[in-house]
Amino acid sequence: MSASLSSPAEARSGKGHHDENFPVASHLIHPRHRPAILAFYHFVRAGDDVADHAELSPERKIVLLDRLADALTGQGPSDPEAEPLKAELAARGLPPRHALELLDAFRMDARKSRYATWDDLIGYCRLSAMPVGRYVLDVHGEDPAVVWGPSDAICAALQILNHLQDCGKDFRSLDRVYIPQESLDRHGVRIEALGAAKASPALRAVIRELAERTLGLLDEGAVLPDLIRDTRLSLEIAAIHRLAVVLTKGLTSRDPLSEKVHHGKAAFALTALCGVTTTLLRRPFREKILRAHALRMAGPGVRP
C-alpha cells in the first residue's frame, strides 16, 4: 500500500528539473554553482512529491517530510534524497534554512487545501517560493539586503502563476485550491467551477484579476537582474522574468482549464532571449541603476 511507504524516495513522481515550467540551473549559470542549485532542486522535488502524493495520508506525508528535514540537519538517519544538498551546504558554509522552509510549505500542503485571502496566499509563498530565490542568490554570494526583496516578489509571482495555470488540475487531482476564496466570492464563483472542462466568464474574471495582481509582483521585481553582481545569474533571472511576464499576460485572456498557456519551445526560447538581450544592453549602466534603486529604497526625502 502507498500509505506504508517507508522513505521519500518511494514517493518520487519521476519529474525532473527539465520538466519544470521555468529554467532550473540552465547553462547560463556558471558550472561551479549548478551542482549546488540542482542538489537543492532534487531535495525540494523529493519533498514536493511527498506532499503531492495522492495516496498518502496527511499524517504519513508529515512523517516523511520530517524524515527529510532530520536527514538534512543531521538530527536523524541519513537519507539519499538529502545527502547531496547536505554536502553542498557544508562545502559552502550555508545553513539549511531555505530548504527547511520549503519543507514547511509542503507540510502546509499536507494539512491545508484552501486559502481565504491574497495575503494568505502570499504567506504560503513566503515558504513555498521565496526561499528558492534566496538560496540561489546566497549560493552566488549576492547581498541579501539588496536582492532578497525583489527576488521575493518574482518568486511569489512565479508560484502564483503556476497555481493559476494548474488550478483545474490541482482541484481535480488533489482537491487543492490556491485561488483565494475572497476572489471567488467577489465574482460569485463556487469552487466546483474549477472542475469544469471550460472556465465560466466569472471564473475567467477571477483568473484575470489574480493575473493582474501577479503582474504587479513581477513589476516590483523587474529591477532584480540589474542588482545582481554575477552577470550569468543576472541573465538567467532576466530570462525567467521575461517568460513569467509573457505567460501571466497570457492568463489575462486565456482559459487555463481549456487552453494551453505555455508556448512552444521556439517561442519560449525567443522570449527568454529577449529578456537576456535587454539585460545585457543595460549592464554597462548597472552602477547608475544601483544608485537610483538605493535612493528609491531610502525614501522620497533623500536627494543624490
Determine the structural domain holding residue 51 and report its residue range.
29-112
In a domain, 23, yes or no: no
How many Cβ atoms sit within 10 Å of the Cβ of residue 176? 19
- Looking at residue 23, its pLDDT comes to 58
Residue ranges of the chain with per-residue pLDDT less than 50? 1-2, 18-19, 301-304
CATH number of residue 151's parent domain: 1.10.600.10
Q: Are residues 39 and 98 in the same domain?
A: yes
User: If residue 238 lies in a helix (H) or strand (E), which one and from where to where?
Assistant: helix 231-251
DSSP summary character for residue 25 = S
Residue that finishes a domain, picked among 112, 147, 162? 112
Residue that finishes a domain, picked among 67, 85, 112? 112
- Looking at residue 102, its pLDDT comes to 98
Report the alpha-carbon distance of residue 273 to residue 269 in Å, rounded: 6
Determine whether 275 is exposed, middle or buried from the number of CB atoms within 10 Å of its CB (0-12, 13-18, 19+): buried
Predicted TM-score (pTM) of the model is 0.88
In a domain, 19, yes or no: no
User: If residue 82 lies in a helix (H) or strand (E), which one and from where to where?
Assistant: none
The total number of structural domains that make up the chain: 2
Q: Are residues 211 and 89 in the same domain?
A: no
In a domain, 21, yes or no: no
Q: Are residues 257 and 206 in the same domain?
A: yes
- Looking at residue 1, its pLDDT comes to 39
User: If residue 78 lies in a helix (H) or strand (E), which one and from where to where?
Assistant: none
Residue that finishes a domain, picked among 52, 84, 112? 112
CA-nearest of 154, 177, 173 to 164 is 177
- pLDDT tens digits for range 192-247: 999 999 999 999 999 999 999 999 999 999 999 999 999 999 999 999 999 999 99
Report the alpha-carbon distance of residue 134 to residue 149 in Å, rounded: 9
Is-contact 151 244, C-beta < 8 A? no
Question: What CA–CA distances, in Å, run from 90 to 70, 115, 121?
Answer: 15, 36, 33
Distance of CA 14 to the CA centre of its chain: 19
In a domain, 220, yes or no: yes
- Looking at residue 224, its pLDDT comes to 96
DSSP summary character for residue 32 = T
Q: Are residues 150 and 212 in the same domain?
A: yes
Q: Are residues 131 and 207 in the same domain?
A: yes
Q: Are residues 244 and 104 in the same domain?
A: no
Q: Are residues 108 and 139 in the same domain?
A: no
Q: Which residues lie below 8 Å from residue 64, measured CB to CB, with a gap of 6+?
A: 5, 7, 8, 11, 50, 56
